[in-house]
Amino acid sequence: MAAASQIVPERYSRQILFAGVGPEGQEKLRQAHVAVVGVGATGAASASLLARAGVGALTLIDRDFVEESNLQRQVLFDEADARESLPKAEAARRKIAGFNSEIEVRAQVADLAPGNVHELLGGAEIVLDATDNFETRYLVNDYAVEQGKPWIYAAAVGAYAATMNIVPGETACLACIFPEPPGGAVETCDTAGILNSAVNLAASIQVTEALKWIVGARERMRRTLLSCDLWSNEWSSVSAAHPRPDCTVCGARDFVHLRGEGRPHITLCGRNSVQIHEHSRPVDLAEMAERLRPHGTVRRNEMLLRFERRPLTLTLFQDGRAILQGTTDVAQARSFYARFVGS
């Protein structure tokens, strides 16, 4: 992916004045390519900051679409995006084009998976995690360690924010710190709520660390898992300076998640929803809309279709992937999909 052809000096003049960046650093930013996995709350904030800083090329990857409940914290979206149910990656691309037309932004409306991770992340020099699940984070970790590529973990829920830099061969990887995914019930934005200030804190720290990497100030990068609770004013820092010798990923280089072993084809997707991603096939959305219209309410744009037949709402993407809202019953979701879309 080609970066922008020239720097607009006045646009970045205040950033260039900062000694840590300067003219040479700004040129490195112009030539850089960053991938952001997940363009929800943290991802939208991080993408906005990267674009405004003049990172020349961005790949934005997200499987979801804009809803009204997103607007409290997801800074690249507006009410029109929610009304149209625009895919978040595409809505973000359009907003960024409105305030920085000098950079290149590629929107990928996709679920990052073992089958596409090399294609979607291949051109980026650093990957920023802004996902909402550990399944995808472990996949990114496997990919990054395999490729020797840095990535930055970030999370926010409630008033809590956390972030960690992973530099393969130098620091601990995600599996060094969390050999297994968190057990038991895990709080999400849908269950614990979220402060937009926690989101923006996580994104600001994450992007600053990415800028350090890009401009060459790598000795300044933090080597800890940093977490904080803005409501209770509690901060903690756990060393991640060195890989764990017995780590199965960066030590033994056993990339279970990259191989897709045990990866479910149907997953819970938050907000009383189920995602079906076992089908990978092109869907003619216009034809599907005509077929579904006698059975319920249909809305469509060029990237997705929404079909409401109470109590469920089906959002169908061009690649056959779907999100069923109104249930957490996997069997019910599969049956609804098979009935109206096909098995």
Question: Looking at the annotation, which residues are catalytic?
Answer: 189
With H, G, I as helix, E, B as strand and everything else as coil, classify residue 332. Answer: helix
| H-run or E-run covering 240 | none
Specify whether the CB–CB gap between 30 and 4 falls below 8 A: yes
Percentage helix, strand, coil for the chain under 3-state DSSP, each rounded to 5: 35, 25, 40
| H-run or E-run covering 236 | strand 234-239
Beta bridge partners of 165: 152
Beta bridge partners of 152: 128, 165
| H-run or E-run covering 302 | none
Q: What is the DSSP string of 58-101?
A: EEEEES-B--GGGGGT-TT--HHHHHHT-BHHHHHHHHHHHH-T
How far apart CA 197 and CA 188 sit, in angstroms, is 16
Residue in the block written with tokens 């096909």 = 342
Find the radius of gyration of the CA atoms of the chain: 20
Using alpha carbons, select from 102, 112, 110, 99 the residue that is nearest to residue 56. Answer: 102
Specify whether the CB–CB gap between 171 and 241 falls below 8 A: yes
Instruction: HSE, CB side, 13 Å, CA atoms: give it for residue 262.
Output: 7
Instruction: Categorise residue 158: left if φ over 0, alpha if ψ from -120 to 50, beta otherwise.
Output: left
Contacts of residue 66, defined as CB under 8 A and 6 or more positions apart, other chains included, come to 74, 77, 81, 82, 84, 85, 86, 87, 88, 91
Residue in the block written with tokens 């189920």 = 274
